[in-house]
Amino acid sequence: MEELAKLFSDGHKVEILDGRLNISPEVVQSIDKDALLFEIATVTSTELLIYQSYSAGAYQGKYKGVTLQFNRSLSEQGAYAIFNANIVRQRNSKKGKKGERLPNGHFNVSENSEFYKFWKRCYLPRPASLTRFWERMGNLKKVILTGSYTKGERLDSKSLKPVDLSYIEIKECFNDCHTHKERINNAQATHKERIRPTHKEIDENHTEQGVQANQSTGNSKYGNKVIRECGNKGNDSISITTTKKSPQKQSNDEWLEDWEQFGMDSME
């Protein structure tokens, strides 16, 4: 949450009102808007829809309308919404005859259409004519939207509306997110401490491993190791009988008995 953290630490207020991102006081340095919106969407668990483009056409050869394409803040997948719209000329004019296909991307709607209602919900200025919306579609990029889905990536066009997230709501969600993250980090650190062996355990394990015979290398090497540790630095190969107990586990009498036996054997 780098963008939000920096803005809040510098005393800025961040909010989305009527679908417009507002930062006050105004930020002097540049910010990554996409990253900021992603962070807001994440901490508030709100799917933000960012308008990308549109197309006008006849779907399945008979359903005439306009399709809006969106990016989703919390998903790599896209989303789209379809509105009914006219894509043919409604009357004869100098530009063409009634029923002819309008130029690519052109469409018109009525004041009772769902598209026009959506446009008004976004608080965007109405074009001079209901046939000129295609000239103003870029204005939708200024509006951050949200909505519900009907199937797959298709949005319910009637549900599309500007997002409203107050500064207090975003800040509280941000604080809750950081508190939860700190608890997880503390829990992980505590768990690591619990499973970490103590110095005493390491010392005992190391000592035990140092005196146990390695059966895969033969008893003679283990015997030579004991001899070297007892002060014999020679290279003579002397075989001794190992005890059932390691020296560290023997009593003083048992250890002396083995040592005396070793001395007798070496004198023969």
pLDDT, tens only, 217-229: 444 333 343 333 3
Q: State the Cα–Cα distance between residues 229 and 108, nearest whole angstrom.
A: 98
Q: Read off the pTM.
A: 0.65
More confident residue, 250 or 206: 250
Residues 6+ apart with CB under 8 A from 258: 243, 250
Do the Cβ atoms of 24 and 7 come closer than 8 Å? no
Do the Cβ atoms of 144 and 44 come closer than 8 Å? no
At residue 248 the predicted structure's pLDDT band, cuts being 50, 70 and 90, is: low
* Entry field: residues in the chain: 268
pLDDT, tens only, 15-40: 999 999 999 998 877 889 999 999 99
Give the pLDDT mean for 69-91.
92
pLDDT, tens only, 39-59: 999 999 999 999 999 999 987
pLDDT, tens only, 114-166: 999 999 999 999 999 999 999 999 999 999 999 999 989 999 999 999 999 99
Q: What pLDDT score was predicted for residue 4? A: 93
Q: What pLDDT score was predicted for residue 223? A: 39
Give the pLDDT mean for 94-103.
83
Tokens 């990253």, located at residue:
35
pLDDT at 198 over 60: no
Average pLDDT over all residues of the chain: 77
Tokens 């992980």, located at residue:
188
Half-sphere exposure of residue 99, counting CA atoms within 13 Å on the CB side? 0
Give the pLDDT mean for 227-233.
39
